[in-house]
Structure 1
Amino acid sequence: MTHDRITSSFDAASTAAEVVEGIDLHGKRMIVTGGSSGIGIETARALAGAGADVLIAVRNPEAGRGVADDINTGFDSPRVTVSQLDLADLPSIRRFAAEWGRTPVHALIDNAGIMATPLTRTASGREVQFATNHLGHFTLANALHDALAAANGARIVSVSSRGHLRSPVVFDDIDFTEREYDPWLAYGQSKTANVLFAVDATRRWADDGITANALHPGGIMTNLVRYLPEDVLEGLRTDPTAVYKTPEQGAATSVFVATSPLLDGVGGRYFEDCNQAVPYEGGPERVGVADYALDPEAAQRLWDLSADAVSN
């Protein structure tokens, strides 16, 4: 199946506020996971600035309240609220969804994530990057399905990364029980899973008015790099070829995917710099999306595996 590639007038330098300018989100309810740091803050700020009621779902509610208070100072009445959510803890996710209930969710921005962590396993034995970045958001979206369907046109925004180019989902050994652990391969696999989720969620839920798209936000120096060794960080900071976005620019593609009229009814795609990505063809620039990340058969296989993994 072929689709016309979606392009916009925005680019890598565009900010979240510029992308949403002129779009009225009053009456829309949106959830941003990981909204208390990095691009999550700027995603919430831009959406609220356009009139949306935004809930930031975070592990540390105290940090979240500080962010919400800061954003809300610009409005006559609060638009940003906070709720506790730990994506590595399935009971926490289900509790969050139960508290939300069936109130319509117009956009779910799956922004939270971890990167290149030391080998860590969850209580159920899953590798923690796959568990947090993919399984947590998979569980959250499924738990909020009825609330998303109630919005009649909901969008799920799956924040992936060009890191997905490092690895497909290795179905034979997702949790690194047979192969040597590599934090970057684990991260890449989890980011590929974010794209595959968008592909199959759209296939399964488009008739419910729910579409999902994935994106690469760009290179941004945020708290996401906290697990990197100091020498690696210093190399990133001093690399003369590296181009980094500000958090305001890094949030732009998330906000574009969440709000642009160009994406009405559109799902299962991957965006970067506020445009649909081209197919990845190799090269040092690492631009585009890998074929394996959009493979519908892999997407269905991952969905079934994920549903089984979180059923207990």
Structure 2
Amino acid sequence: MSSPDRITTPFTRETTAAEVIDGIDLTGRRAVVTGGASGIGVETARALASAGAEVTLAVRNVEAGERTAADITATTGNPRVSVAPIELADRSSVAAFAAGWQGPLHILVNNAGVMAEPLKRTPEGWEHQFATNHLGHFGLALGLHDALAEAGNARVVSVSSSAHHRSPVVFDDIHFEKREYEPWSAYGQSKTANVLFAVEATKRWAGDGITVNAVMPGGIRTNLQRHQQGDNLSPELRALMDSYPWKTTEQGAATSILVAVSPLLDGVGSRYFEDVTEAGPYVPSDGSGLTDDSGVSAYALDPEAAARLWEVSRELLAR
């Protein structure tokens, strides 16, 4: 559970990743960013590279990744930006990435994700959003644990969302086998899982010098919203989205960068950050809207749920 000593920073929701990382030297450090070829993943990787880190973009589309890597090198002058394939919903792909990693890993940014998509299942029968957003990243972190431990003082960034308020992890029916599928509930459940992972991973791994925190990047118009466009939007949701205070991708990456590199977070884990500071508790509003979702739900920080999710996830991946 997040402790009373809430971390505050001099930054605001308008702060960019470049401003957060200004003055920090990551020379000799190695980072992996999943989904590093699009959206805030690009700007997260760019900021890390700008500070001298060796950055690997773990992506589904290697060609897009190569273009992004070239662009990051061109804008930062850092040639140590590489690309490796990964499909988070495919256990063998995740295992292959982890097995191919050599040497220490100082920063792992679990950034990739899918949002509110129509019902889709993996070959195992897993609901695709949970499989991608949580199980894939869970398996990746487990596979890279030794590399993170070797680095010493390693950090893992678990990119969540305010959509976690929409659902706890429904352990009795995680994969929507008995209940009717609802895209936002499924997405919310997966984003709650991202926070619970940070809670339990820090508990288990802090002794290895590994801390994990969750972040809410903010609303950013990226390819993540591809299922919330055109005919998929109700007039009410369209009006809300049109009035929403969207961030730029550079601002959206700022909280991930804070968690990845800020000295303010040395030895700190199991927490949830938004707008480049630690979030307070979520207080549901009496209105409906996209702007009333700040804070973290208590169930997302629940240590018992975190421990249960860890065991359930291990059992699923072991089948």
Q: Equivalents in 2 of 1:69, 1:215: separation in Å?
A: 27
The amino acid across from 2:116 in the alignment is A
How far is 1:35 from its partner? 0.3
1:275 aligns with: 277
How far is 1:233 from its partner? 8.2
2:219 aligns with: 219
For structure 1, the residue ranges without an aligned partner over 5 or more in a row are none
The amino acid across from 2:269 in the alignment is G
Q: Equivalents in 2 of 1:64, 1:131: separation in Å?
A: 22
Answering whether residue 96 of structure 2 is matched by residue 95 of structure 1, we say: yes
Q: Equivalents in 1 of 2:158, 2:234: separation in Å?
A: 26
Q: How does 1:233-244 map to 2 (within 5 A)?
A: 238-239=239-240, 241-244=243-246
1:58 aligns with: 59
The amino acid across from 1:242 in the alignment is Y
How far is 1:75 from its partner? 4.5
Q: How does 1:1-312 map to 2 (within 5 A)?
A: 2-101=3-102, 103-231=103-231, 232=233, 238-239=239-240, 241-283=243-285, 284=287, 285-312=292-319
RMSD over aligned CA atoms reads 1.4
How far is 1:281 from its partner? 1.1
The amino acid across from 1:48 in the alignment is A
How far is 1:286 from its partner? 1.1
Q: Equivalents in 1 of 2:275, 2:294: separation in Å?
A: 10
The amino acid across from 2:111 in the alignment is N
CA contact (8 A) 1:236 1:242 kept: no
TM-score normalised by structure 1 residue count: 0.97
How much identity, in percent, do the aligned residues show?
A: 61
Distance 1:167 1:77, change over 3 A: closer
Distance 1:235 1:80, change over 3 A: farther
The amino acid across from 1:287 in the alignment is S
Q: Equivalents in 1 of 2:251, 2:267: separation in Å?
A: 25
Q: Equivalents in 1 of 2:234, 2:60: separation in Å?
A: 25
Q: Equivalents in 1 of 2:234, 2:37: separation in Å?
A: 22
Q: Equivalents in 2 of 1:113, 1:241: separation in Å?
A: 24
What SS does the corresponding residue of 2:75 show, helix, strand or coil? coil
The amino acid across from 2:315 in the alignment is D
Q: Equivalents in 1 of 2:258, 2:143: separation in Å?
A: 25
CA contact (8 A) 2:33 2:108 kept: yes
The amino acid across from 1:69 in the alignment is A
Q: Equivalents in 1 of 2:98, 2:254: separation in Å?
A: 27
Q: Equivalents in 2 of 1:16, 1:229: separation in Å?
A: 27
CA contact (8 A) 1:61 1:82 kept: yes
Tell me the alpha carbon deviations over residues 204-246 of structure 1, each in whole angstroms, 9 at most, x when there is no partner: 0000000000010000110001122414288666545410000
What SS does the corresponding residue of 1:310 show, helix, strand or coil? helix
Q: Equivalents in 2 of 1:289, 1:99: separation in Å?
A: 35
What SS does the corresponding residue of 1:68 show, helix, strand or coil? helix
The amino acid across from 1:121 in the alignment is R
Q: Equivalents in 2 of 1:211, 1:83: separation in Å?
A: 24
How far is 1:79 from its partner? 2.2
Q: Equivalents in 2 of 1:19, 1:11: separation in Å?
A: 10
Q: Equivalents in 2 of 1:76, 1:223: separation in Å?
A: 27
How far is 1:74 from its partner? 3.1
Q: Equivalents in 1 of 2:183, 2:68: separation in Å?
A: 30
Q: Equivalents in 1 of 2:153, 2:277: separation in Å?
A: 21
The amino acid across from 1:275 in the alignment is T
| Structure 1 residue ranges (4+ consecutive) displaced by more than 2 angstroms after TM superposition | 74-77, 233-241
Q: Equivalents in 1 of 2:108, 2:258: separation in Å?
A: 13
